């Protein structure tokens, strides 16, 4: 756990937040600065900072992130019309929290990226 990591503090209960889904590998919360009508964060329980630090031991966790993202999109009612999955890595990509996480965006037609 990263001692100053907001996601680790949410996971431990030190910072209150509504956890929408929780399993052995990850948990889901709403983004506090949403960029779409539905903007969820799927966060691994294990503190991993960057994609570049992932190893073979993380394969199951990464698979769970994507399965959980789809389930969260289904629960939010956006899986039929489509949703975007985004991983921001590093400051130039807009990574605001140094804990790997997956953004689930949807609820309206999304514009072009980049």
Q: What is the pLDDT along the chain (114 residues), one digit of tens a residue?
A: 557 999 999 999 999 999 999 999 999 999 999 999 999 999 999 999 999 999 999 999 999 999 999 999 999 999 999 999 999 999 999 999 999 999 999 999 998 875
For residue 49, being part of any structural domain is answered with yes
For the entire predicted model, the pTM comes to: 0.93
For residue 22, being part of any structural domain is answered with yes
**Cα–Cα distances in angstroms (integers) from residue 46 to residues 11, 43, 101, 109, in the given order:** 10, 9, 11, 33
Total tally of structural domains belonging to the chain: 1
**Model pLDDT, residue 83:** 97
User: Catalytic residue numbers?
Assistant: 101
Residue 90 domain boundaries = 6-106
């Amino acid at each position: 756990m990263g001692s100053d990591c907001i996601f680790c503090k949410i996971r431990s209960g030190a910072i209150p937040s509504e956890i929408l889904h929780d399993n052995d590998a990850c948990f889901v919360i709403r983004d506090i600065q949403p960029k779409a009508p539905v903007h969820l964060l799927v966060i691994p329980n294990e503190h991993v900072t960057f994609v570049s630090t992932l190893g073979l031991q993380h394969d199951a966790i990464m698979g769970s992130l994507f399965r959980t993202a789809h389930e969260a999109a289904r629960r939010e009612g956006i899986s039929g019309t489509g949703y975007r999955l985004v991983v921001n890595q590093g400051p130039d990509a807009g990574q605001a929290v140094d804990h790997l996480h997956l953004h689930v965006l949807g609820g309206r037609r999304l514009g072009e990226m980049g």
